Structure 1
């Protein structure tokens, strides 16, 4: 049950929901006593009677409250009102690191070092207080609009003395960011957080996860057995020193990783030290395993960190600029790219002498005029409008007709239905005849057969019909026919990749026994067959 509009503890006015998961929901609220915004994490009421979940929720509050660090989300209060358990935390206005990566990946070297160094600092502080986070992932890193990265969600954190790593018989944490020891069900320590941070670094550098698969088990096995693809192959523009740090953090053997989060931070802070700018690539063995020797990391340590602190590097400036654009124009990639271009032009112009600024201004003026004329021409059709020749789609199924017209740049307008001797779903009439010229983007109307009512009744008597199962939300591997054949069609959709989101016939409708049911599976890449789902 939502708590929006309620006042918890006679102090916190809940304003709106800002996120959540299977265990709890996070709300934005106002502390009326101190007149400030806070974030309130509320345990789902369905779990409030589960003593283990309540203990875990309480453990999160205790773990986070025991830490005091600028890169850890602060816990202000904890409370219970009837069956509502809640934690009051610092409110961070800004995206998660996951959202930021999705918008800007691959990140610049400066952004990577700035963000990762802050996370390392937070982990070092937690580890020094005997707290292992155990669920480090970009979803649990918040980026304030001031550029400060903050670690949150200590929901499965435990003291380093604890050996318990499972909950209700399953390993805790997020499988794509698992350490091998988590996947194995072994003892989890500080170096498990270092491995997870290595995965986050890999994602910041490449925009991809080091390991992916069709199931959680397959991903976990890859963490245990498969070597990681060298991030340099995916993004050679990032300095070798960053690639080295990622690969060392992602070692399968915990003893081969960084000794501590503090040591990893020292290496990150030394990335822009002059001794590391020409760092050579890692040597590799014939079997593809990475050489355990990383010569460029020798001798830098704390001294290099101190030197890097004196450097005039503007680490974090790019992050601040991007975050500001996210605040103004959230989740709009095109306008973000335009914003980056504007910032670049402003920086270039700032370093020009006056006469170059004048020429640059005139050039910019003419470019703007040209773009305006081009845009106006595109809208009004001054240069003529492209036309498309109407194809003949009569006799085709509705889905096939839509696809044929779409390939011609013609959209479908109204779709009328009439009984006819043609098979149900077959196009029997189109409003524009074959060969007619239509402006690209214009539409035509279609008439689709509903089949003959008498013929349908006769066929119903002659042929055995079976009901179509509901496959919506099912994984592809779980989809099987039930007296009929399944035809899988891949199509881009907002659903999770690999899950069904539509079928034809729809769930509950009848299909002839031995017939075919089409099931559309979400896939962001181009599908194997260009047959759109129903109502598209």
Structure 2
């Protein structure tokens, strides 16, 4: 199945989560409800098997009825182009198998907490007449909150009925198979109870009770060998808790718990003080072992016949003789009886001598391991033992204040009033945590886990190198108890990156708002543009859709609008010719005036009246540029200011007549 494929037009495949004996499980996104889901798809080699398909669909549909906080919810069951699939709740965490591999044997308290959740879920399943048939740690999911979710209900039914010869597929489950399943007998709810007992054993010991080179050899051990003692693997396990395992994994189903509720009730009281001295559980089947009896032989019948008695003289004499012999025998018996009583008295005297000279009485040293010191002292002194030296040492497997071992050891025979030395646990040895900042997370995690410390990771964006530790929840040089410690490490994801937006058309205010939000170092430049309106972005140095981090620099060019055309300034020198008047001056009456009037009129007649018109950036031809009189040829400089691409012009009138004109002037 390729990543990105849409199943049923709704579930987009994001990643492969795992592969099982008959199905593949993918992480997918529900495009309608916008949530992550787990999609289990039946393997291709089962797609054409009608019996497997029928059981797969029936069991999957029946599982949708199971609504329980410790059961993975089934959202959908459907088919897409021949692919049978189940859509389930996605649990972010790990399975119990990996949890055990990472953490090793767990404490009795934690084992009870985990198994109580599983038993609660299985009780509901059994009430709905659903037998799991494949209980194993791989099918028990656990999240960060230590919440258990049971999954894979009913899938093993199709496998066990159609592919019993697939040894490699069954190998993952054969470690938890019940004796009746191994023999091919009918599977019941008590088969699930057996598997739950094996899971509890593995939680407390860190390993399965039966292992071998092949699935067949392991299956044989389930109904031929007794389960090993979990207390030999984990001394912290009390007998009452081991009894839960022994009863759940009894070879005969009749000796097991009748229901998961019954097993749960027994499990929850296993650590009660009232069950501290509980005897080892022995199944009924072992109490009623078959005895071979010697057959009684019937007596052989003796045939009797009636014989007539005839009294004869010779026989009478013989009778008297026998009577005398009987008297002698009685006399001998009396003598023997007297001798017997004499010997009996002598023997009694000998026993009395031996009794008063017997060696001191010996008593078996009791097992006080895991008992608190006060309780251990009481148990030993009640048997007339004397407490000797008491030493202490660290021990992670024995509670603080409890007995680690005795000398002599438990089970040895010792004379009363003998001295018994005790070694008392100081609990788990504390360790000092160093400063891990700047170190690689993977290396530190391995080190801490080997010490038994639970590690949690928090990812943060930072300038530090990728996957290096930025900070730690516990200060350096602090002493902690490993099993009681959760160590939170903040780990660098490197600089946080963002996707650059296309800011074309942004205003300056919008640009500044964006760069301030993401911590960009902004430089604004301006230039003219005939295509982009004034005040809007023309271009940016960081390309749209590229990645950037806070602190990066970006240059944005904002439009000044269309550029002003270039102004050219130049001068045009012209010479205006003077024209002398050709007629004498006359007054209005045709008479010459006095001398003063005549002199003034002559001066006016000698002047040429000049008007100049000019066209440039500052003037128009319709407006007078200059107006003056001349009495001789006069040179004038015309200063033009012309826009690029435009031209200038001028026109000169003398006494109302155009005498000079020039158009399309350029620099």
TM range (shorter): 0.5 to 0.7
* SS of residue paired to 2:100: helix
Distance apart, 1:3 and its partner CA: 3.7
Q: Measured at CA, do residues 247 and 186 of structure 1 come closer, stay the same or move farther in structure 2, by a change above 3 Å?
A: same
Q: Residue 60 of structure 2 aligns with which residue?
A: 61
* SS of residue paired to 1:248: helix
Q: Residue 124 of structure 1 aligns with which residue?
A: 123
Distance apart, 1:66 and its partner CA: 2.1
Distance apart, 1:175 and its partner CA: 1.1
Distance apart, 1:336 and its partner CA: 1.9
Work out the CA distance in 1 between the residues paired with 2:140 and 2:17: 15
Q: Residue 44 of structure 1 aligns with which residue?
A: 43
Q: Measured at CA, do residues 232 and 35 of structure 1 come closer, stay the same or move farther in structure 2, by a change above 3 Å?
A: same
| 1:324-363 correspondence to structure 2 within 5 Å | 333-338=446-451, 340=453
Q: Quick check: 1:74 aligned with 2:187?
A: no
Q: Residue 282 of structure 1 aligns with which residue?
A: 280
* SS of residue paired to 1:213: coil
Distance apart, 1:122 and its partner CA: 0.8
Distance apart, 1:23 and its partner CA: 1.3
Asked whether the equivalents of residues 45 and 83 of structure 1 are also in contact (C-alpha less than 8 Å), the reply is no
Q: Measured at CA, do residues 15 and 156 of structure 1 come closer, stay the same or move farther in structure 2, by a change above 3 Å?
A: closer
Distance apart, 1:282 and its partner CA: 1.4
Work out the CA distance in 2 between the residues paired with 1:362 and 1:39: 41
Distance apart, 1:338 and its partner CA: 4.6
Q: Measured at CA, do residues 363 and 28 of structure 1 come closer, stay the same or move farther in structure 2, by a change above 3 Å?
A: closer
Query: Relative to structure 2, which stretch is displaced further, 56-65 or 90-99?
Result: 56-65
Work out the CA distance in 2 between the residues paired with 1:238 and 1:96: 23
Q: Measured at CA, do residues 61 and 226 of structure 1 come closer, stay the same or move farther in structure 2, by a change above 3 Å?
A: same
Q: Residue 534 of structure 2 aligns with which residue?
A: none
* Per-residue CA distance 1:243-278 (angstroms, 9 max, x = gap): 1101111100111111111100111122233323x2
Work out the CA distance in 2 between the residues paired with 1:32 and 1:49: 29
* Per-residue CA distance 1:272-309 (angstroms, 9 max, x = gap): 33323x23451779xxx9779xxxxxxxxxxxxxxxxx
Q: Residue 166 of structure 1 aligns with which residue?
A: 161
Asked whether the equivalents of residues 7 and 14 of structure 1 are also in contact (C-alpha less than 8 Å), the reply is yes
Asked whether the equivalents of residues 131 and 158 of structure 1 are also in contact (C-alpha less than 8 Å), the reply is no
Asked whether the equivalents of residues 64 and 73 of structure 1 are also in contact (C-alpha less than 8 Å), the reply is no
Distance apart, 1:63 and its partner CA: 3.1
Work out the CA distance in 1 between the residues paired with 2:455 and 2:41: 42
Q: Which runs of 5+ in 2 are unaligned?
A: 289-440, 457-473, 480-667
Greater C-alpha radius of gyration: 2
| 1:490-501 correspondence to structure 2 within 5 Å | none
Query: Relative to structure 2, which stretch is displaced further, 113-122 or 53-62?
Result: 53-62
Q: Residue 206 of structure 2 aligns with which residue?
A: 207
* SS of residue paired to 2:105: coil
Work out the CA distance in 1 between the residues paired with 2:4 and 2:11: 10
Q: Residue 89 of structure 2 aligns with which residue?
A: 90
Asked whether the equivalents of residues 179 and 223 of structure 1 are also in contact (C-alpha less than 8 Å), the reply is yes
Query: Relative to structure 2, which stretch is displaced further, 172-181 or 102-111?
Result: 172-181
Q: Quick check: 1:228 aligned with 2:227?
A: yes
| 1:457-472 correspondence to structure 2 within 5 Å | none
* Per-residue CA distance 1:216-263 (angstroms, 9 max, x = gap): 111111111111111111111122221110111110011111111110
Q: Measured at CA, do residues 32 and 241 of structure 1 come closer, stay the same or move farther in structure 2, by a change above 3 Å?
A: same
Asked whether the equivalents of residues 247 and 281 of structure 2 are also in contact (C-alpha less than 8 Å), the reply is no
Work out the CA distance in 1 between the residues paired with 2:12 and 2:68: 26
Asked whether the equivalents of residues 329 and 336 of structure 1 are also in contact (C-alpha less than 8 Å), the reply is no
Asked whether the equivalents of residues 248 and 257 of structure 2 are also in contact (C-alpha less than 8 Å), the reply is yes
* SS of residue paired to 1:88: strand
* SS of residue paired to 2:76: strand
Q: Measured at CA, do residues 274 and 94 of structure 1 come closer, stay the same or move farther in structure 2, by a change above 3 Å?
A: same
Question: Which structure has the higher relative contact order (CA within 8 Å, separation 6+)?
Answer: 1
Work out the CA distance in 2 between the residues paired with 1:68 and 1:282: 37
Q: Measured at CA, do residues 281 and 31 of structure 1 come closer, stay the same or move farther in structure 2, by a change above 3 Å?
A: same
| 1:224-373 correspondence to structure 2 within 5 Å | 224-276=223-275, 278-282=276-280, 333-338=446-451, 340=453, 364=478
Work out the CA distance in 2 between the residues paired with 1:114 and 1:239: 16
Work out the CA distance in 1 between the residues paired with 2:196 and 2:246: 11
Work out the CA distance in 1 between the residues paired with 2:6 and 2:151: 24
Q: Residue 189 of structure 1 aligns with which residue?
A: 188
Asked whether the equivalents of residues 52 and 162 of structure 2 are also in contact (C-alpha less than 8 Å), the reply is no
Q: Which runs of 5+ in 1 are unaligned?
A: 293-327, 344-359, 366-536
* Per-residue CA distance 1:338-395 (angstroms, 9 max, x = gap): 572899xxxxxxxxxxxxxxxx989649xxxxxxxxxxxxxxxxxxxxxxxxxxxxxx
Work out the CA distance in 2 between the residues paired with 1:271 and 1:227: 22
Work out the CA distance in 2 between the residues paired with 1:105 and 1:255: 32
Asked whether the equivalents of residues 38 and 89 of structure 1 are also in contact (C-alpha less than 8 Å), the reply is yes
Aligned residue-pair number = 305
* Per-residue CA distance 1:44-68 (angstroms, 9 max, x = gap): 2343222233223213412321211
Q: Measured at CA, do residues 272 and 176 of structure 1 come closer, stay the same or move farther in structure 2, by a change above 3 Å?
A: same
Asked whether the equivalents of residues 63 and 157 of structure 1 are also in contact (C-alpha less than 8 Å), the reply is no
Q: Measured at CA, do residues 188 and 364 of structure 1 come closer, stay the same or move farther in structure 2, by a change above 3 Å?
A: closer
Structure whose residues are more often strand by fraction:
2
* Per-residue CA distance 1:60-96 (angstroms, 9 max, x = gap): 4123212111111110001211122211000001110
Q: Residue 11 of structure 1 aligns with which residue?
A: 10
Asked whether the equivalents of residues 165 and 188 of structure 1 are also in contact (C-alpha less than 8 Å), the reply is no
Work out the CA distance in 2 between the residues paired with 1:15 and 1:243: 44
Q: Measured at CA, do residues 36 and 362 of structure 1 come closer, stay the same or move farther in structure 2, by a change above 3 Å?
A: closer
Distance apart, 1:8 and its partner CA: 1.3
Q: Measured at CA, do residues 291 and 133 of structure 1 come closer, stay the same or move farther in structure 2, by a change above 3 Å?
A: same
Distance apart, 1:157 and its partner CA: 5.5
Asked whether the equivalents of residues 103 and 333 of structure 1 are also in contact (C-alpha less than 8 Å), the reply is no
Q: Residue 108 of structure 2 aligns with which residue?
A: 109
Work out the CA distance in 1 between the residues paired with 2:180 and 2:244: 20
